[in-house]
Amino acid sequence: MDHIFFFYFAAVIATTSVLVVALRNPVYSALALLIMFFHVAGLYVTLHAEFLAAVQIVVYAGAILVLYLFVVMLLSIKSEERYHNQLPVAGLLGVMLCTEIILLLIQSRTAASAQAVPADPVTGSGNTEMVGEALYSTYLFPFEVASLILLVAMIGAIILAKKDINEQVQQ
């Protein structure tokens, strides 16, 4: 049963990921991305990470992708042709990445397949609490660094916006 769900989600994620970059209409690309986010969330649910699944949809599908659509609609592009002549470069990179993945898979199958991660579904206190505890104890430093980076990005955005207004006032 779990395998059926995994292969369904994985197949849809792979297909829609390709569609995101392959479709000519940017709005369709955004929709394919939306479907992909949902299936990634579904994958999280099969791993008993409900909190992560909900956050995935709230943040990526609910906020970030809406902003993408906002920009796409504002520019009102019917179809984008500029970025469709990168096939040689993209093909080269794709082949390299694929060989890398295949090599890694072969290696892991021969050497490290014994060290399978023990299946440890978070039960009892619920995985929201577990995520919180892990973030604020074990991974406190990376967490704070990530917040700092976001803060810098925010201040940067504010400065960029402010500069514009000052120039307008001077004119």
Site for other proteins in 75-104 (CB under 8 A): 76
Question: Which stretch, 15-23, 53-61, 95-103, 160-168, contacts other proteins (CB under 8 A)?
Answer: 53-61
Closer to other proteins by CB, 123 or 170: give it.
Answer: 123
Closer to other proteins by CB, 101 or 158: give it.
Answer: 158
**Least Å from the CB of residue 163 to other proteins:** 19
> Encoding tokens for residue 138?
């074990």
Cα separation, 98 vs 42, in Å, equals 25
Whose tokens are 């991305």? That residue is 33
Closer to other proteins by CB, 113 or 168: give it.
Answer: 168
Cα separation, 19 vs 116, in Å, equals 33
Cα separation, 34 vs 61, in Å, equals 6
Cα separation, 12 vs 39, in Å, equals 7
128 sits near other proteins (criterion: CB under 8 A) = yes
